Homo-oligomer: A and B are copies of this chain.
Amino acid sequence: MFYIIGLGLGDCKDITVKGLEIIKKCDRVYLEAYTSILTCGTQALEEFYGRKLIVADRDLVEQGADDILEGAKTSDIALLVVGDPFGATTHTDLVLRAEENGIEVRVVHNASILNAVGCCGLQLYSYGETVSIPYWMDGWEPDSFYDKIASNFRNKVHTLCLLDIKVKEPTLESLVKKKKEYMPPKFMSVSEAAQQLLQIIKKRKEAQVELEINEDNLAIGLARVGSDTQKIVACSLIEMATVDLGGPLHSLIIVGPILHPLEEDYLRKFKL
């Protein structure tokens, strides 16, 4: 059997009882470590589970699927994933690969940012399409996420923005070499995300495009949701550009044009 087990968002103890029981009986347990991170480290997980974990980086999950699935027809193999198993496309792909090879698959769900974001008090049913904000690089500054946020705004719903993570990304120079070298990990902060959004707004204003979202729009910054050090701040987008919420992971919400009175009440405690 091949298990994909969600770890939730906070620390070791956010795993479900079902997930923990499975981990204890598996022959091999992989920890997916590049689409997200837990605030506790790998060592803390190993101590809590009382067993060794195999850290699975992007290369292993995307190209080494056969290695991960090896033996799963006759023994139990698990892949641990921060949040919920279906948060990333690669995990869906892995389920398909397993089933094509006649391996039974079982999924153990857990909280992910998509529902835990409810902690800021905006109603979960009042969000539109989720967007991802990527790190810009020289000459590559995509801004289509702005259009999705604007479309949600026109539909009177909020937008959850997931912020980029670069973990074990090969350096551009090393891509042409035999031996890959990796950049230090980086995690986009709410201020960096707000700054990119403000740049898009500025550029479009200069082009005299009519804008739904501008620098005064209400935004919510969230850090380390579900952990003991969770932080939430509600302020204008331009204020968010200078807010420091500390270590990763961060998420940003662009609030829609209408707030329910209960949402309004709840947000009050997070105002800058």
Chain A residues in the interface with B (C-beta under 8 A): 6, 8-18, 20-21, 83-87, 89, 92-93, 95-96, 99, 107-112, 114-116, 118-119, 121, 123-132, 151, 155, 157, 162, 226, 262, 265-266, 269
Contacts and interface: CB of A to CB of B under 8 A. Distances in A.
A109 B9 contact: yes
Contact of A111 (B92, B111, B127, B266): B111
B8 A109 contact: yes
B16 A118 contact: no
11 contacts: A14-B108, A17-B17, A84-B111, A86-B118, A87-B124, A92-B118, A110-B110, A111-B115, A125-B132, A125-B162, A155-B155
A151 B155 CA distance: 8
Kindly report how many copies of this chain are found in the complex they form together.
2
Contacts of A86: 115-116, 118-119, 124
A93 B129 contact: no
Contact of A125 (B95, B130, B155): B130
A14 B20 CA distance: 10
Contacts of A93: 262
Given A92-B121, A115-B86, A128-B128, A18 B13 contact: yes
Contact of A262 (B92, B108, B111, B162): B92
B13 A15 contact: no
Contacts of A89: 123, 262
Contact of A129 (B107, B108, B112, B127): B127
Contact of A110 (B111, B119, B131): B111
Among all A-B residue pairs, the 8 with the closest Cβ atoms: A86-B118, A109-B111, A13-B18, A13-B17, A112-B115, A84-B115, A125-B130, A109-B116
